[in-house]
Structure 1
Amino acid sequence: MSDTLFLCLETTDTMTRRLVDVAHSLGDRVLLVSGSNRAPAGTDWLELDLRDEPERVAARIREQTTGTRIIGALTDQEAFVISTTAVAQALGVARYSVEAATNARDKSRMKRLWQAAGVRTPAGAAFRSRNEVVGTHITFPAVIKPTHGYTSGGVRRVDDTAALLAQAQRIGLLNATTVARDATEGTGFLVEQCLRGPEFAVDTVWFNGEPVHDCVMSRNHDEGSDSPYFPDRVYLLDQAMPAEQRNEILDITYAAVRALGITHGATHSEVRYDSGLPYVLETAARPGGSWLAYELMRLAHDADFARALYLSHVCADAEEFKQRLGPVAWRSVPKDVSYFIYFLPHSGAGLIKEIHGLDELAAREEVLLCRCYKRPGSLLLADDDLNAEPFCNVIARQTPDGPSLQELLSAYDRALTVVC
């Protein structure tokens, strides 16, 4: 049995399985540390609440792993980024500071750092409560978002003061419930300049401040939509994106990440254009889409982001990282073929009695991966802007001789029926 142990802290099942494969290929073991998620078969599981004091969590991990050497730790869950970094620091395996992790968790803090560093980001201001907004001059339309939110929960375009105050009240509810579960302090909301151009998501794996792998995805395929919400629905790999635009997006993303102090591991950033210029909206210190961006790149390009991410947390220097990573594989994809992630909407709310159509959806020819996060007996929240829990997603491939992207998305919307 290996005496080198890698920690997955509250990771999703997909991520845990992939990191187990990587660890085993390198002669290491994985331990899932979670208060709720059970480990895949053959993987050790330690039930711990990461919201406890980091030193106490670290001490418990040491007690349960006597005789092993802990070599790294990470999470793919936004709510556990700070606690994971703090536990890793207590164990002596952190790759950057708790302060840097906090910079990537608090959107008001990251905006101040970007403004100081000259990184282009929408103009805006932070508020702790809706009462602070009263009497403040706001240019409409504007975008309001929680300072510590994720998966676009609570984000909305508002066109007047009444809508702004109403959404601020809803965000207060989100901060007091979903966000409060990770014991975050100083929550509030941002009111920002509303940008009108196309939006992109960028996933990067870093080692020692340098990018190793990049994935650039289009986030708003339906630019004509006038909805006030910004749901995480579609992430599209646009093979025909001009190299100049891709480099422009990556350059501003790199500057944003470095300004936050993130040097190793995963980052997920969102960039939106306005008047021909890119602006960074936010950056998170985790893989995008709860690991799905990495699965997208594996299925589309055979790119092993998982191995690069793992090694970025365990290698001592650039030479070791380069040697252990080996040649970087990259399979080309025709420009008229699109790979995409789609998060399915749902209707209804309550305890799920039945889910119909899941097997048929997974069996579709173009669907490469289908993951449903709910099952009969699970609680299904209403599919609105305050719900940060995914229901079901697919990774699929659209080809020129098949249905259009919009036809596929419409078919997926009709595929599942949930009975509550």
Structure 2
Amino acid sequence: MASLTFVCLETTEFFTRELARVAAVERDQLLLVTAGPPPLEGFPSLVTDARADPAGTAAAIRARCAEAPVAAVLTEREVFLETAAELTELLGVAGNPPEVVRAARDKARMKEIWSAAGVRTPAGRSFRSRAELAPETLTYPVVVKPARGFASCGVRRVDSPAELLEQTKKIALINATLVARESDQDAGLLVEECLDGEEYSVDTVWFDGEPVCEFLLSRGHPGLLAGPYYPDRLYLLQQSLPEERRREVSALARDAVRALGIRSGASHTEVRLRGGVPYVLESSARPGAGGVFYELVRRAHEVDFTRALYLSLVCSDRAELDARLGLVRWRQVPEGASYFWYNLPYRGAGLIEEIAGAEELERREDVLFCVWHKRPGGYLHAYNDLNPDYFCTVVGRHTAAQGGPPLEELVASYDRLIDVGYR
């Protein structure tokens, strides 16, 4: 089989290494396309601003890959999804059309599509500016969020007209800074009814409109589910989840993704319950947690979702995909064991000088690995509802034992261990 090129657009260090691992096994080449200096030494890179000039970037990629044709373009970063879809179309490789990805980046448009298709989702209304709001006409509490936000940035439950107006000022700042760097499209905000039940995420790999493999995570830290903010803090593989609940949540997530028109690659969907009934909140054409959820499942169940995603994008038909992927076998997790992903909070802000406790954290028996998104020399903004940055995410294993700490206490000990020093 001739070697192909798998293009990674602005992928993070962690996910680039994961894709390189798979590409090496499949005897393909990897090309990292980035506007900044290549972040990974030794990786083939093309330095160009794809978001500013998609057509020029596609031409440069094509010229660079004359001997190993491009098979796919992928990013796991929300703000580059539309550009990746444009490059996919320009290069003539398989993937979701730009208009589909564009709709999945706009929460207001998403909700319109789901409502028209009969997919159960919280009632809500979109507004292009706070001037359109009539706060006194709403029934509180409600959840307000940027229509093109990400990483729970700016999302808040508000309980009064005054709180709503205050939060819309913050969302206007997000739209004028973070969102404006991604796109010149009108952003706006979304106001929707507040649900109070359990929350789950569903990650699926798709090929030609059909799921290849899928997993479900439970959003932990019940106290945080009440709001008013909803940071991505703790997710776990909940082995005790009733099978009927699992099927209902997964079925709704699949209906939501299909209604959006996403037919290939990754999808990450968030679902929340009210009175035991699932409602879809959001969906996106990317892996959850920047691909780290995939590695969590590989450690727990020995199922390689990164390889499944890779093959779903490079294989020409389902027969080839099934032959190359093989039978997906899920290893049973030992009874009492729970695998989790934890987003480590931090104190302070500024240029990082040192991270005390990092080595001790990585040596802990319950910690499988850490992904450090910021290191000494990097900058951390103040940790609040406007902060979209991750500092460190931990994948670990908690074993229920008599006298041992519950999971919430275990991850809280990580918070106490790490201390960031600033210059």
Q: How does the TM-score come out when normalised to structure 1?
A: 0.97
Per-residue deviation, residues 130-170 of structure 1 (Å, max 9, x unmatched): 11113662110000011111110000000001100110110
Q: Take 1:242 and 1:263, find their aligned partners in 2: how far apart are those partners?
A: 28
Aligned to 1:134: 134
- Paired letter, 1:347: R
Are 2:411 and 1:417 aligned? no
The aligned runs of 1:5-154 (5 Å cut-off) are 5-36=5-36, 38=38, 40-134=40-134, 137-154=137-154
Q: Take 1:98 and 1:169, find their aligned partners in 2: how far apart are those partners?
A: 30
Q: CA deviation at 1:404?
A: 1.5
Aligned to 2:323: 323
- Paired letter, 1:95: G
Q: Take 2:400 and 2:71, find their aligned partners in 1: how far apart are those partners?
A: 46
Aligned to 1:408: 410
Q: Take 2:163 and 2:343, find their aligned partners in 1: how far apart are those partners?
A: 27
- Paired letter, 1:371: V
Per-residue deviation, residues 163-199 of structure 1 (Å, max 9, x unmatched): 0011011011011111222124110110000000000
Structure 1 stretch 224-233 or stretch 256-265: which is displaced more?
A: 224-233
Aligned to 2:181: 181
Q: Take 1:224 and 1:392, find their aligned partners in 2: how far apart are those partners?
A: 19
CA contact (8 A) 1:85 1:94 kept: no
- Paired letter, 1:412: Y
**How many pairs does the alignment contain?**
420
Q: Identity rate of aligned residues, in percent?
A: 50
Aligned to 1:346: 346
Aligned to 2:197: 197
- For residues 83 and 224 of structure 1, do their structure 2 counterparts lie closer, same or farther at Cα, with a shift above 3 Å needed? closer
Aligned to 1:371: 371
Q: Take 2:162 and 2:51, find their aligned partners in 1: how far apart are those partners?
A: 36
Structure 1, gaps ≥5 residues long: none
Q: CA deviation at 1:63?
A: 2.5
Q: CA deviation at 1:18?
A: 1.4
Q: Take 1:298 and 1:15, find their aligned partners in 2: how far apart are those partners?
A: 14
Partner SS for 2:281: strand
Are 2:230 and 1:230 aligned? yes
Q: CA deviation at 1:223?
A: 4.4
- For residues 161 and 419 of structure 1, do their structure 2 counterparts lie closer, same or farther at Cα, with a shift above 3 Å needed? same
CA contact (8 A) 1:50 1:80 kept: no
Q: CA deviation at 1:68?
A: 2.4
- For residues 226 and 122 of structure 1, do their structure 2 counterparts lie closer, same or farther at Cα, with a shift above 3 Å needed? closer
Q: Take 1:148 and 1:343, find their aligned partners in 2: how far apart are those partners?
A: 22
- Paired letter, 1:398: H
Runs of 4+ in 1 over 2 A off after TM superposition: 36-43, 63-68, 223-227
Q: Take 1:376 and 1:211, find their aligned partners in 2: how far apart are those partners?
A: 41
Structure 2, gaps ≥5 residues long: none
Per-residue deviation, residues 17-60 of structure 1 (Å, max 9, x unmatched): 11111111112111111123635444201111121232121012
Q: How does the TM-score come out when normalised to structure 2?
A: 0.96
Are 2:155 and 1:155 aligned? yes
Q: CA deviation at 1:92?
A: 0.5
Aligned to 1:262: 262
- Paired letter, 1:189: L
